Structure 1
């Protein structure tokens, strides 16, 4: 029986692209040139300060 799923290393990327297209259909996100990361915030002297974003991961 032949599988219709992409090779395992690409499966997460394919599923992520599908979800991005479904959630943000008007944005036309270019998955070849897009990274996502986790924002990092810290409270410094009662101020919210942005810190460097966590490591970017290619889509």
Structure 2
């Protein structure tokens, strides 16, 4: 399940970057949008790791 959720997050980020490249005309806007998507993706991946570790701790106590 961990690999699947990471793949979904990365594929979603890739789709957002591709759509940003299509929508924005100015290269500066494309770069800013891509950096914002990458920043949110990194935060999502970190949160995903933390959430899985928390769930594993609670499952281990039972």
- What TM-score, normalized by structure 1, do the two folds share? 0.37
Higher helix proportion (structure 1 or 2) = 2
- What TM-score, normalized by structure 2, do the two folds share? 0.36
Larger RCO, structure (CA 8 Å, separation 6 or more): 2
Higher strand proportion (structure 1 or 2) = 1
Q: Decide which structure has the larger Cα Rg and report it.
A: 1
